[in-house]
Structure 1
Amino acid sequence: MNPLSILLIGLAMSTDAFAAAVGRGAAMRRPRFRQALRAGLIFGVIEGVTPVIGWLLGTAAARYITVLDHWIAFTVLCLLGLHMIWNGCRPGAQDAPQRHGFWALAATGLGTSIDAMAIGVSLAFLDVHIGVVAVVIGLCTLVMVTIGIMLGRVLGALAGKRAEVAGGVIMIVVGAAILYEHLSGAA
């Protein structure tokens, strides 16, 4: 596999994380670059580890992972999105401090990285160094999520009090897009 192909895989795997990060950034109260970088690191590590896990699972579990990956991602992202919408619509929700801790970011990162695990499974059948691919995917995701959080900051300021609702809708749309991509590709 040539370096351009590996880079394109890294960018493709980071696009859904980017969209989720825009939603997260819109829900945060004026996130600073340090917070965006932290989110990028969390997403990047998760997105970089999951193809290795998939690669290790290899052929034995390939059928099960590719059958369920899109459903898992859809469910996790929809639940997170619905939770964000609910928090944004609650009376007094905007007065409460916004929580975007490690576990919330990790759950979002996991939801957007399930497809990377399936990519790892498929890479087990190719002559490719999984460590290089995993690092490229992780770095692309780090950059894309950091940019997404900062872009979400701008969108959050424009959206005002309902930024968390908008972020929740984005999460659900990302989950639905993942599901649609897999179901339409399987048909």
Structure 2
Amino acid sequence: MSILEIWLLAVSLAIDCFTVSITSGIILHRIRWGIFLKMAFLFGLFQAAMPFLGWLGASRFNHLIETYDHWIAFALLAFLGIRMIREHFKDEEERSFDPTRMKVILTLAVATSIDALAVGISFAFTGFRTLSSLLYPLTAIGIASFVISLAGSLIGVFFGKRFNLRVEIFGGLVLIGIGVKILFEHLLANH
């Protein structure tokens, strides 16, 4: 795999993080560096860790992971999306979908990184034989996800302020859409 291919892969894996970060920035309506850095860090960490885990388990658990990874990603994203849509219809005091809560950030980090697990499995079969050969791709994936997530949060704040958007419904539909996309890509690839 060339350096260009590695970075293109890293950016493509970060697109789901970017979308989720934009939505979170819109919901928060203001720059919250601590939250945005925590979210970007965890997104980058999980995006880099999942390919490693996929690579590590490819020889033993390949058939188990490939069978269910898309269902897990879909369920997590659909759950969060439905929850976000429900929040739109609640009064301000009743709202509980909070992209600043660690539980929400961790769930989003896991859900958006499930595809990276499959990438790690493919690494095991495309010439990445040692951990040292994986260091560059994993680092690139983590850095790209961090930077793109942080940019998405800032873009979300800008648009949220500029257009006074309340996007719980839109954000929920985006999360569900990402889950459906992951599900259909895997189902169609297996037929």
Q: TM-score, with normalisation over the residues of structure 2?
A: 0.87
Secondary structure of 2:100's counterpart equals: coil
1:110 maps to 110
Native 8 Å contact 1:78 1:175 kept in 2:
yes
Q: Match of 1:180, as an amino acid?
A: F
Q: Which residue of 1 aligns with 2:62?
A: 62
* 1:162 aligned counterpart, secondary structure: coil
- Contact kept in structure 1, 2:54 and 2:120, CA below 8 Å: yes
The equivalent of 1:126 in structure 2 is 126
Counterpart code for 2:147: V
Listed one character per residue, the Cα deviations across residues 88-118 of structure 1 (whole Å, up to 9, x for unaligned) are 2112358889452222111101001011011
- Give per-residue Cα distances to partners, 1:4-29, cap 9 Å, x unaligned: 11111111111111112222222223
The 1:80/1:183 distance shift into structure 2, 3 A limit, reads: same
Q: Which residue of 1 aligns with 2:39?
A: 39
* In structure 1, C-alpha distance between the alignment counterparts of 2:112 and 2:57, rounded to whole Å: 19
The separation in 2 between residues aligned to 1:94 and 1:167, in whole angstroms, is: 18
Q: 1:97 to 1:127 in 2, by over 3 A?
A: closer
Contact kept? 1:10, 1:137, Cα under 8 Å: yes
Partner of residue 153, structure 1: 157
Larger deviation: 58-67 or 30-39? Answer: 30-39
Q: Which shifted more, 74-83 or 175-184? A: 175-184
Query: What is the rounded CA distance, in whole Å, between the counterparts of 2:97 and 2:60 in structure 1?
Result: 45
Q: Is the 8 A contact 1:29 1:98 kept in 2?
A: no
Percent identity, aligned pairs only, is 29
CA distance in 2 between counterparts of 1:44 and 1:35 reads 14
Query: Distance in 2 between the 1:172 and 1:23 partners?
Result: 13
Contact 1:81 1:171 in 2 (8 A): yes
Q: Name whichever of 88-97 and 138-147 sits farther off.
A: 88-97
Q: 1:183 aligns with which of 173, 181, 187?
A: 187
Alignment length (residue pairs): 187
| Unmatched 5+ stretches in structure 1 | none
The secondary structure found in structure 1 opposite 2:29 is coil
Inter-CA distance 159–69: structure 2 relative to 1 (3 Å threshold) = farther
Following superposition, the deviation at residue 119 of structure 1 comes to: 0.9
Q: Which runs of 5+ in 2 are unaligned?
A: none
Aligned residue for 2:52? Answer: 52
Distance in 1 between residues matched to 2:64 and 2:163, nearest whole Å: 41
State the shift of 1:33 in Å: 4.1
CA distance in 1, matches of 2:61, 2:97: 42
The 3-state SS of whatever aligns with 1:106 is: helix
Q: For 2:161 and 2:167, how far apart are their aligned partners in 1?
A: 8
Runs ≥4 residues deviating over 4 A: 93-99
> What TM-score does the superposition give when structure 1 sets the normalisation length?
0.89
